[in-house]
Chains A and B, each alone.
Chain A
Amino acid sequence: MIIFITLMLSVPTLLLFYKFSLLHPVEKLIIWSVSSIISKHSFTIIELNLGMVEMSNKKVDAILIYLLGWFFYSPMLAIIVGFLQKGRVHPLYKIALMFISAAFLSFTNHLISITGVIVFKHWNIIFSFVSYIVIILFVFSFAQFFRFIFTHGRSHV
């Protein structure tokens, strides 16, 4: 089940990220990395430090969760941030996109929890939603900073 979910989510997201992302190739690489760092950070803190979720002890499940992180959540966050950075789009549409994306990502968290690979102990879909809003805003802020140095800081120090 989790293999099916990983494939169904990762393959189209990677294709979308590769073909239709609005970011420059260097930005793609960096925003994808930053998304991975933030997702990994938050998941580690929620799982290990706070004990709010529990991951399966099976190695295959753990690998699939890592793959989902690198090939679904991170490129998806980079795609969302690419749209949020796009000019000539009304801010209300951007806010709506952010909320819809966070809802979608929380739903995928819920989907994974159904498979039993991740068990929500003191965690729920509302917490996921709020955490994704924070993550999107954080990655977006970094993307804005990176775009600034991308256009102003190409020369040597």
Chain B
Amino acid sequence: MHELTIARNILEIVCQATPEEHYARAEFVKVKLGKFSNVLPEALRFSFEVIKENYGLKNINLIIKEEPLHLRCIECGALFDSQDAVFSCMVCKGSSLEVLDGDLLKVSEIGLREEK
């Protein structure tokens, strides 16, 4: 269950990026989840819901955007995306692939409700 650690880190980033008096306005945080990041979205959502109030962010929702693996074949140079952790080139079947993206976890957006 390392998703609890991940959830904690996401909430800490929201707290750092948002002035404290606006915590109650924080409506969503969007997270990019690479296919190869070893994180289970359901477990992350569950952890997030359980601990968000500890950070004074009771209204915030977690939006997860799953990202495919972006790969580059070192042998033939082909660029392609993969939904699975398959490690052979779709063009030349070579096995030397560089992971360009899709193994990372990033916080990309924080949505704040307008002040009334």
A and B form one complex: no
A residues engaging B (CB < 8 A)?
A: none
B residues engaging A (CB < 8 A)?
A: none
